[in-house]
Structure 1
Amino acid sequence: MTAIYIILGLVVLVVLYAIGVYNKLVGLRVRKNEAWSDISVQMKRRYDLVPNLVETVKGYASHEKETLSRVIEARAAAVASTGSPEEQAVSENMFSQALGRLMAVSEAYPDLKADSNFNNLSRELSALEDHIQKSRRFYNGNVRELNTAVQEFPSNVVANMFGFTRAEFFELDEAEEAAVKTAPKVQF
């Protein structure tokens, strides 16, 4: 009879542990999804801001059509991207590079740099880029926690039982990271 109580106690402990791990995994997945939502909101704000910035630059730099059209095309591709974080990172990186070229073009136009509308838009864009970076770090931190819990023993047993999987980080690949760090050159 004592052996039955010991076995029953152990089963109860294992079930309680599994419930605790399951709830932790659900919480981590919810925080990861919330963090991704924050990134999406910031990127949408940037997508909405860019057409105004492009129109302002058009007024001063009408012969920069190629740069302006690249920004517009990259924005459209980024807006249309709805895949995994890794897939969206590719289109976001292309968009960021196009924006970098646009801002480099603006350096060549003193009248444009003096325009208050352009200055307000570029400050707002800069603030949005900071928010996106913070959101990316927050998202990647939550992904790291979830991935750790999904892979560590013994929580990986519970994760596998209930279908929890690793999440993808939202990060630049090496080639794009180098391109973002290198200022584009503008020549006339």
Structure 2
Amino acid sequence: MGLGTIVLLVALIAVVLYGTVIYNALVAVKHAVAQSWANIDVLLKQRNDELPKLVAVARQYMGYEQETLERVTQARNRAETAQREGDMEALGAAENEIRLGLGHFFAVAEAYPELRANEAFNQLARRISGLENAIADRREFYNAAVNRNNVRIAQVPDVLVARLLGFTAFELLQFDPSEIRDVDVAALFRN
């Protein structure tokens, strides 16, 4: 075996090893995205399980506020559908509707002292508020994982391996523009 053959063989082995390292790194960032989404998914399911209980308790006291209760329930259903379908844009919009609906819901609940005194309502409200905060935190982790994946598959030389092996970009879970505006608290009390 000649020196040229040995050099070619070493170069080929180096390329294969380097390609393997890149592939493994791409797999790691892809699975980080999946794990981040699974964490959000668990919290969304927990929150979606708690919302009907909260609405059921509130219905006992808020007979005239049916529209508010229905708005939260419909937003929950849209969020579940978007979550099932993996539609990040629709999920972001539905999550925004839930947050706005819950804000309105809790503002309206202030007008019902008997409801505010109900321990089950208070416990569910605290639980849902805690889940909302956890979902926001997990959304940040998800978007960071998506960003790492998307940057990685766009950079040279990773892009060569990513395109060759079919690695794709993921969609960020975006905030609705109304979420980043200042909240008009007075309007919540007028509706």
CA distance in 1, matches of 2:184, 2:7: 65
1:39-86 deviation per Cα after TM superposition (whole angstroms, max 9, x unaligned): 111011111101111122212221111111111111111122223322
The equivalent of 1:35 in structure 2 is: 36
The equivalent of 2:62 in structure 1 is: 61
The equivalent of 1:162 in structure 2 is: 165
CA distance in 2, matches of 1:104, 1:17: 58
The equivalent of 1:129 in structure 2 is: 132
Cα deviation for residue 171 of structure 1 reads 2.2
Cα deviation for residue 186 of structure 1 reads 2.3
Indicate yes or no: 2:117 matched with 1:118: no
Indicate yes or no: 2:96 matched with 1:105: no
CA distance in 1, matches of 2:87, 2:52: 25
The equivalent of 1:77 in structure 2 is: 78
**TM-score with structure 1 length normalisation?**
0.91
The amino acid across from 2:7 in the alignment is I
Q: What SS does structure 2 have at the residue aligned with 1:178? A: coil
Q: Stretches of 4+ moved more than 4 A in 1?
A: none
Tell me if structure 1 keeps the 8 A contact 2:79–2:90.
Answer: no
Cα deviation for residue 101 of structure 1 reads 1.2
Please give the residue correspondences for 1:43-54 in structure 2 after superposition, counting only pairs within 5 Å.
43-54=44-55
C-alpha RMSD over aligned residues: 1.7
The amino acid across from 2:151 in the alignment is T
The amino acid across from 1:48 in the alignment is D
Indicate yes or no: 2:13 matched with 1:12: yes
Residue identity over aligned pairs, in percent, reads 35
Could you tell me which runs of 5 or more consecutive residues in structure 1 were left unpaired when the two chains were aligned: none
Cα deviation for residue 115 of structure 1 reads 1.6
Tell me if structure 1 keeps the 8 A contact 2:43–2:131.
Answer: yes
The amino acid across from 1:122 in the alignment is A
User: Which stretch of the first structure deviates more once superposed, 104-113 or 143-152?
Assistant: 104-113
CA distance in 1, matches of 2:77, 2:12: 55
The equivalent of 1:138 in structure 2 is: 141
Residue number among 74, 89, 94 corresponding to 2:92 in the alignment: 89
CA distance in 1, matches of 2:108, 2:146: 37
- What is the number of equivalent residue pairs in this alignment? 187
1:147-167 deviation per Cα after TM superposition (whole angstroms, max 9, x unaligned): 111111111111111111111
The amino acid across from 1:17 in the alignment is Y
Could you tell me which runs of 5 or more consecutive residues in structure 2 were left unpaired when the two chains were aligned: none
